[in-house]
């Protein structure tokens, strides 16, 4: 189960979210000018912010390449339980039988409870305080990071308890 890609999927999500958080620094900086037309997108940036943005974009591309290689490897080893890279349904649900469905549901319930409280909390903060755009993006990404962390830790705890 430790080698199961579905188990480690939230960790991949968390890594992507961290890179997005760094990328947001570059995109929201006043030193970065993004011009978008119907056919093109041009980005002008100052030295540091430009470097941060460029490094984050490269890191994202590298990570997505590693992710696709790992996913392809998993799919070759598990032809009966292939994961699509472009599926709308999150692949981390482990529902191959009723026991696994039960623990997936428990983890999802924890995530739902977290989202129920954290999203309105973030909305109230943004409404009441003059929060910069970067912090709003970081807030949203922190919630996304949190939901993946909660899901991963709960599934790991449940599966760790199921030792023979």
Partner 1 sequence: MLRNRVKELRARYGFTQSELGKKVDVTRQTIAFIEKGEFSPSITLALKLAQALQVEVGDLFWLEEE
Binding site for partner 1 (CB under 8 A): 1, 96-100, 102-103, 158-159, 161-164
CB of 99 to partner 1, least distance (A): 3
Instruction: Output the CA torsion sign for 97, 70, 151, 114.
Output: negative
For 152, residues 6+ apart whose C-beta sits below 8 A from its C-beta are: 7, 10, 11, 14
The nearer residue to partner 1, 37 or 163, going by C-beta atoms, is: 163
* Residues forming beta bridges with residue 33, ordered by sequence position: 44
> How far apart are CB 114 and partner 1 at their closest, in Å?
22
Q: Of the two residues 38 and 98, which places its CB atom closer to partner 1 in the complex?
A: 98
Nearest to 157 by CA among 97, 107, 105, 111: 107
Distance (Å, whole) CA 116 – CA 141: 15
Residue nearer to partner 1 on the CB measure, 96 or 109? 96
CB of 138 to partner 1, least distance (A): 36
- Residue 53: helix, strand or coil by DSSP? helix
Please give the DSSP secondary-structure letter assigned to residue 44.
E
Q: Provide, rounded to whole angstroms, the least separation between the CB of residue 130 and partner 1.
A: 48
Judged by beta carbon, residue 10 or residue 139, the one nearer partner 1 is 10
């Amino acid at each position: 189960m430790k080698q199961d890609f579905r188990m480690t999927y939230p960790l991949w999500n968390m890594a992507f979210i961290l890179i997005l958080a760094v990328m947001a620094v570059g995109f929201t900086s006043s030193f970065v000018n993004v011009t978008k037309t119907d056919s093109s997108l041009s980005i002008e940036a100052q030295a540091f912010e430009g470097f941060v943005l460029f490094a984050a974009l490269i890191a994202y591309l590298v990570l997505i390449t590693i992710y696709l290689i790992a996913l392809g490897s998993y799919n070759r080893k598990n032809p009966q339980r292939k994961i699509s890279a472009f599926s709308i349904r999150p692949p981390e649900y482990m529902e191959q039988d009723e026991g696994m469905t039960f623990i997936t549901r428990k983890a999802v319930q924890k995530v739902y409870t977290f989202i129920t409280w954290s999203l309105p909390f973030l909305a109230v903060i943004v409404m009441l305080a003059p929060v910069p755009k970067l912090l709003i993006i970081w807030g949203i990404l922190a919630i996304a990071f949190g939901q993946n962390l909660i899901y991963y830790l709960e599934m790991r705890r449940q599966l760790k308890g199921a030792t023979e």
